[in-house]
Structure 1
C-alpha cells in the first residue's frame, strides 16, 4: 500500500477495538500491519454479532481493513518462536494483553527490545498500574463520561474510550517513529483507556479543576455555551449551536426575535449562561412554530450552525464520500466507513485490502519470516497455525 508509512511493519497482537483501531490508522497510512490471532477463534470481535457479512461480524469488519492476518498459537513454543521472529523484524509492536501476559508469552517489551533495539513498542491498558481490566463501559463510568451524559447517567452510544485510546496510540506511535528516524532510538509507548478518557473530557475537566466543583449533567445542552442544544420543532428535534455573540445575534435576526439579541441579559455568553432558563424558554416557543427542514434552511442562510438529528445510516448516506468499498473474500463487495482524514499524497481511490479472514496470510507471512514449507505444514498439522481456505468471491467492486 502507498502512503507515508510504506515500508513500516507493525506486529499487531491487539484485539477488540482500541488497538485494532490504532493499527487500522497505521495501515491507512501505508504500514504493513500483521495481525496475530489465535488459530481457533481469532480476534474476539469476529464473533460479536449479529449482524454478519460473509461470516464475519460487522464489529470486526469496522476496524481491521488493510491488514494481513496470521493465525498463530503464541502459547505453543513453536508459535512463540515465530512471534518473536516477527517482533524482531518489526518496526512497531502493539499489544493490549493484561499486565504480565506479553512477558509470559515471550513478546514483552524487554525481550523484544533486546532483539530489536530500535522497536517502537506500544501497550494499551485499561488503568495504569496493577492488573485491573478495562472495558469501555466501566471506563465511561469511572471517567465521568456517564455522569455528564444524558438526563440521568448514560453511556455514550459507541465505545468512545476505546476510540480515543486508539487515536492516542496512533499519534504516540507516529511520534516515536519520527524520533527513531531522527535519533535512531526505539521507544516505549503506554496508552491507558482511563487516561485517554480523562484527556478527552477537555473543557469539562478543566472547568471542574478551575471551579473546584463537580461537573453537572446538561443533557443535550452545553455547560458554558448558550444556546447550544436541541430544540423541538413542529415535526421533530434539531440542534442549534450559536457558539459566540455574533452567531447569537444572527440567530435572533433569522428567527425574527431581534429583541432577544438586544436584551441586556443575553448580550454576552456569560449572561446567556446565567439566564439560560429564560432565554431557552423564549427560543423554544419560537422553534415550535415551524418544521425542522425550514429551520435548518433559514438558519443555514444566516450562517448559524444547526443540524438535523439523524440516524446512523441516514448520516452515512447524507455525508459526502463517507464510505469506500472493498472486495471481501467471503462477503463480496463490502462497504466500509472511511477514516476522518485524507492526505493529498495518498489517492482516495487506491486499492485497500479488505479485513482479512482468520489466517488468510499465515503461509505468506511465515514464508517471509524464513519458515520452510515443510515446517509450515508440520505446524499446521499440530494446530499451531491456521491458513484460511475460503475462496474469494469474483466480480467487480462498484464505487461507494
Structure 2
C-alpha cells in the first residue's frame, strides 16, 4: 500500500519559474501533491542556467527548488500545445502561475472559460504588484521589492548605504504565501462545491508584510523607521558583539535577563544604573551600553561567553558561515539536508523540508529534480491518453520536447 500524505491525490499544474513559484510547488510536492511543471522548449526554467555551481548540466539554484516534480516541455503558443494545456487544466486540482496579470485573458482562457470548463479548481497567481495601483500589472523582482518596500532602507550599517538581505527573502515569503493560498483554496473547495477558487499573491505585498513590527512602530508613531544594523529598534542589548576571537549575537529580551547578564559580565551595578535599569532606558542609551558590553566581552573567547550564557539562559549564538551551519550537528540531527539519487546522475545534497509530519520531513522517497522535458511522454500517455504516433507527430511539429 502506498504511503498517504496530506496532498496525496492532488494534481498541481505548475506554470511558474525562477524562485517564488517553484519554491511553492516544491513545498506542495513535499506534502504529496503531483506536480506537473510546464516549461517552454527554449531552455525551460531560466534558473536551470543560473550557475555556477552546476551539478551535471543543471544549476545548483534550479536543483534546490524543483524536487518531486515532473517536467513537460510544451509550446503553449501553438494550436496543439494550447489544446494540451487546456486538457491538462481540466485534469488538475490546482493551477499556479507567475505571469503578469492578464496572462490568462491574453492567451484566450478568461475566468468564464474556467467557470464553464472546470469545477473545483484552485487557481493561484503570483505577480509583481497585483492588479491595482499605479504599478499594478508590472513585473516584479525580489531585489526591486526589497528597495521599494523599505526593507533595504532599514538593512545595513547605521551610517552606510541601504542593503539587500543575503537571500531573496521577498521571493521566499511570497512562495510561502502562495502555499498558504493553495491550501486555503483546497479547504474552501470542500465547503463550496462546483465553484473555482481564485487566489492571488504578489511580491510587493510580501515585501510590505515583511516590515512586521517596524511597520507597526511607524504607523503608530508616524516616525520613519531608522536603520539599526544588527540591533533592534525596541530591545537593548540585542546586537552583534565582538569577543576576543570572534562575533557573538546576544539577545537580552527583558529586565530580569539584563540583571543576570550584568552579573555574568561581573558588572552588576549596571542593572541599578538609572540609564540602564529598564529596557526603555537602555534603548535611549544604546550606544553607551553597547560600547560598555563590547569592552567586557573582548576580554575572553566567544566559546567561553557562549557556554556561560547558555548555562544561565541568556540567549546568544556564535556567528557561523553558511558552510559551517549546513554541516553543524544541529542541522544534521534535524535532518535539514537530504541526498537525492538518480541513475547515471551525481548524487545531490540539498535542503530538506522544514515541516515535520508524524516524524517525517517530506516524502519517504523524494524525487530528483527533473531534466527539461523528462516526463513529457509519460504525462501525455498517462494523463491524456496520447499514443506513440500522436506524440511522435507533436515532436516533429516542435510542440513538445
TM range (shorter): over 0.9
RMSD value, Cα = 1.6
Query: 2:152 corresponds to which residue?
Result: 146
Q: Distance in 2 between the 1:29 and 1:106 partners?
A: 32
Range that drifts further, 128-137 or 144-153: 128-137
**CA deviation map 1:94-139 (0-9, x unaligned):** 0011222333334554433331131100000011223311001101
Deviation at 1:332, TM superposition (A): 2.2
Q: Distance in 2 between the 1:195 and 1:374 partners?
A: 48
Contact kept, 8 Å, 2:126 with 2:200, in 1: the verdict is: yes
Deviation at 1:301, TM superposition (A): 1.1
Q: Distance in 2 between the 1:108 and 1:71 partners?
A: 23
Listed as ranges, the gaps of 5+ residues in structure 1 are 387-400
Query: 2:73 corresponds to which residue?
Result: 71
Of 299, 304, 307 in structure 2, the residue corresponding to residue 289 of structure 1 is 299
**CA deviation map 1:31-74 (0-9, x unaligned):** 00110001220101000111000210011111111111111111
Trace 1:1-400 onto structure 2 (pairs within 5 A). Answer: 2-129=4-131, 130-151=136-157, 152-184=161-193, 185-318=195-328, 319-320=331-332, 321-329=335-343, 331-344=345-358, 346=360, 350-367=364-381, 368-386=383-401
Deviation at 1:247, TM superposition (A): 2.1
Q: Distance in 2 between the 1:330 and 1:136 partners?
A: 35
Contact kept, 8 Å, 1:328 with 1:355, in 2: the verdict is: no
Deviation at 1:261, TM superposition (A): 2.0
Question: In the superposition, relative to structure 1, how do residues 190 and 110 fare at CA in structure 2: closer, same or farther (>3 Å)?
Answer: farther
Question: In the superposition, relative to structure 1, how do residues 328 and 146 fare at CA in structure 2: closer, same or farther (>3 Å)?
Answer: farther
Contact kept, 8 Å, 1:3 with 1:346, in 2: the verdict is: no
Q: Distance in 2 between the 1:65 and 1:126 partners?
A: 25
Contact kept, 8 Å, 2:355 with 2:361, in 1: the verdict is: no
Q: Distance in 2 between the 1:330 and 1:49 partners?
A: 21
Q: Distance in 2 between the 1:75 and 1:237 partners?
A: 55
Q: Distance in 1 between the 2:12 and 2:286 partners?
A: 51
Deviation at 1:344, TM superposition (A): 1.1
Listed as ranges, the gaps of 5+ residues in structure 2 are none
Number of aligned residue pairs = 386
Q: Distance in 2 between the 1:283 and 1:112 partners?
A: 63
Q: Give the TM-score normalised by the residue count of structure 2.
A: 0.93
- Equivalent residue of 1:282, what SS? helix
Q: Give the TM-score normalised by the residue count of structure 1.
A: 0.93
- Equivalent residue of 1:69, what SS? strand
Q: Distance in 1 between the 2:93 and 2:374 partners?
A: 22
4+ runs of 1 displaced by more than 6 Å? none
- Equivalent residue of 2:327, what SS? helix
- Equivalent residue of 2:349, what SS? strand
Deviation at 1:264, TM superposition (A): 2.7
Question: In the superposition, relative to structure 1, how do residues 243 and 113 fare at CA in structure 2: closer, same or farther (>3 Å)?
Answer: farther
Deviation at 1:366, TM superposition (A): 0.6
